[in-house]
Chain A
Amino acid sequence: EAGVTQFPSHSVIEKGQTVTLRCDPISGHDNLYWYRRVMGKEIKFLLHFVKESKQDESGMPNNRFLAERTGGTYSTLKVQPAELEDSGVYFCASSHNAGNEKLFFGSGTQLSVL
């Protein structure tokens, strides 16, 4: 069984450009989460999908970030326009149920905004 896959693994862009991150959760997992870690800080919650619906997007920093999960399968996280403070590692995680079940994480996308 394939794990959570994220693409790309690294992205280097200039301030003002647009970047789209992709996450493919484990097949059959209805719950999909996006997290971000800035070096030395916590793994910070961004948002949570249940199937194609946004269950909780309270962690999204601002309206430059847009997450979608059309069809309830893979998800994309677009940052437009990117700012320097958006740099960090973006992790995607999935689970079958929510709340009392472990999350399975992808390897992350290292985003560097120059």
Chain B
Amino acid sequence: DQQVKQNSPSLSVQEGRISILNCDYTNSMFDYFLWYKKYPAEGPTFLISISSIKDKNEDGRFTVFLNKSAKHLSLHIVPSQPGDSAVYFCAAVSGTYKYIFGTGTRLKVLA
């Protein structure tokens, strides 16, 4: 039973354009959400997070949007750069402290 779903396994975007990565979740108890970026042969690295009391968090080129009623979050990268090419994972956690990750979306930014 997949509680965190990333339905797009891959995404290609032109350099300079916006990348939008999506994530859906099923557990309404999740109260903290995170995005991680992973390069080959490396561990996931933290990118940005959002608490369930907010609907938007911005950090430079990265913005995460949370729609609690739809149980949906998205990561926007503007402008996209070739160095952003990686696999992006969304994750969610509740008071049980078990961080649940999605299957990842492979982003390719074309120069």
A105, closest chain B residue (CB): B43
- Interface pair A103/B46, CB less than 8 Å apart: yes
A56-B97, A99-B94, A102-B34 given; A42·B44 CB < 8 A: no
A35 to B49, CA, bound (A): 20
User: Which B residues lie within 8 Å of A56 (CB)?
Assistant: 96-98
Majority secondary structure, B binding face? loop
A21 to B104, CA, bound (A): 24
Total interface residues on A, using CB and 8 Å?
Answer: 27
A43 to B92, CA, bound (A): 12
Total interface residues on B, using CB and 8 Å?
Answer: 29
User: Which A residues lie within 8 Å of B95 (CB)?
Assistant: 99
User: Which A residues lie within 8 Å of B42 (CB)?
Assistant: 107-108
B4, closest chain A residue (CB): A42
A105 to B101, CA, bound (A): 13
Question: How far does the Cβ of A113 sit from chain B's closest Cβ, in whole Å?
Answer: 19
Q: Does A45 contact B (CB under 8 A)?
A: yes
- Interface pair B101/A44, CB less than 8 Å apart: yes
B window 43-63: CB within 8 A of A: 43-46, 49, 51
A70 to B55, CA, bound (A): 41
Binary A-proximity of B77-96 (CB < 8 A = 1, otherwise 0) = 00000000000010101111
A window 21-49: CB within 8 A of B: 31, 33, 35, 40-45, 48
Binary B-proximity of A93-114 (CB < 8 A = 1, otherwise 0) = 1000011101111111000000
User: Which A residues lie within 8 Å of B100 (CB)?
Assistant: 45
Where the two chains meet, the residues of B that have a C-beta atom closer than 8 Å to any C-beta of A are: 2, 4, 9, 31-32, 34, 36, 41-46, 49, 51, 89, 91, 93-104
